[in-house]
Amino acid sequence: MSDKSTIPFGPQHPVLPEPIHLKLVVEDEKVVEAYPAFGFVHRGLETLAQKKDFNQMVYVVERVCGICSCMHGQDYCEAIEELMGIEVPVRAEYLRTIWAELHRIHSHLLWLGLFADAFGFENLFMQTWKIREKIMDILEATSGNRVIISVNIVGGVRKDINSEQAKWILKELDEVERQLKDINDVVMNNYTVKQRTVGIGVLTKEEAYELGATGPMAKGSGVDLDLRTTGYAAYKYLDFEPIVEKAGDSYARNLVRMREIFQSIDLIRQALGKMPEGEISVPVKGNPPAGEVISRLEQSRGEVVYYIKSNGTKFLDRLRIRTPTFANIPALLKILPGSHLQDVPVLILTIDPCISCTER
């Protein structure tokens, strides 16, 4: 005889880096229903757009989330630049791309460490975070800060990368790549990792599309969408293809993220090799004209959508941020029912949840 019982999961839980609450209805050890609740770190940042001028808002959106901060700033600036008809110097486009890809690497490595820790693989957690430190060092050396690097401004970027720094970055990336290759076999072929990920939390391509999933969550299910291919920033000058896997399980999502790290290293090498000399910003005068704009880019977790409505003053009428984790919640709620209770922490981490982004 089996009875249904309800188990609260979070908001404080050892595997959760940020607070999310799930009400899990379980029958024996199997999840039959899952209901989420957020709001533990809701800050109302969108509303601040009506009280801070549009330049100050760059700093606010960078604080939507630490891990995605650089790309939040970039997307916001690109939206304002489109509204104001500002053309950013080509060198600034390259610099934005380099910092964005560095963020993608450190985000994926951070996720991989947390994911490994979720099923007790502490050594892998330690190794991935050790490798990640090299990326953090590059961020610090080039921007002056490790996490919230504040390089984007409306009209370009505020920091440059000189030729000495570029050489050093390439050397560091060689070392990061070597170390990643060492652990790649462990991540993708280890018995424990496979037992906990292969065939677990399957999301079909149709489900991923229908549920609006994005980023590695969608790419791991065969959805061939990566906004970088639209050619924003310097991606139009670089050679790459979206990374897509078809199995739709936790393993496929891991594989996408691992392969994206190597792809990001390649993109940074290309960008550093092709980056032209020149200005890194243009002067910006006046306020954004009245109008509405939507700007999107590919964050580590997927598509982020910025909607901005300007009224012609220095304050915006409305700023709305649709983050990738928000878009992936319906997909998470789809893969949880039918799973074993022991897999719930792994499945939550498999979407690489960013709760700060989700709640803003």
Q: Report in angstroms how near the CB of residue 13 gets to other proteins at its nearest.
A: 18
77 vs 112, beta carbon nearer other proteins: 77
DSSP string, 72-92: HHHHHHHHHHHHHTPPPPHHH
Residues near 242 by beta carbon (within 8 Å), at least 6 away in sequence: 219, 224, 225, 226, 228, 229
314 vs 318, beta carbon nearer other proteins: 318
79 vs 102, beta carbon nearer other proteins: 79
Question: What is the Cα–Cα distance from 47 to 295, expressed in whole angstroms?
Answer: 18
113 vs 353, beta carbon nearer other proteins: 353
Q: Report in angstroms how near the CB of residue 334 gets to other proteins at its nearest.
A: 9
Name the residue among 77, 94, 72 with its Cα closest to residue 268: 94
Q: Report in angstroms how near the CB of residue 308 gets to other proteins at its nearest.
A: 9
**Treating both helix axes as pointing N-terminal to C-terminal, what angle do 69-84 and 90-118 enclose, rounded to 10 degrees?**
150
E strands, the chain, are: 4-9, 21-27, 30-37, 152-153, 156-157, 291-299, 302-310, 316-322
Q: Which two tokens stand for residue 99?
A: 């910092």
Q: Report in angstroms how near the CB of residue 296 gets to other proteins at its nearest.
A: 8
197 vs 350, beta carbon nearer other proteins: 350
What is the amino acid identity at position 25?
Answer: V
Question: What is the Cα–Cα distance from 186 to 182, expressed in whole angstroms?
Answer: 8
Q: Report in angstroms how near the CB of residue 145 gets to other proteins at its nearest.
A: 30
7 vs 35, beta carbon nearer other proteins: 35
Q: Which two tokens stand for residue 48?
A: 């601040």
Q: Report in angstroms how near the CB of residue 220 gets to other proteins at its nearest.
A: 16
Q: Report in angstroms how near the CB of residue 147 gets to other proteins at its nearest.
A: 25
21 vs 158, beta carbon nearer other proteins: 21
Please state the separation of Cα 195 from the chain's center in Å: 26
Q: Count the neighbouring beta carbons within 10 Å of the beta carbon of residue 239.
A: 9
Residues contributing to the site for other proteins (CB under 8 A): 35-40, 42, 44, 46-47, 82-83, 209-212, 225, 227, 229-230, 291-296, 303, 305, 307, 309, 317-318, 320, 322, 326-327, 329-331, 359
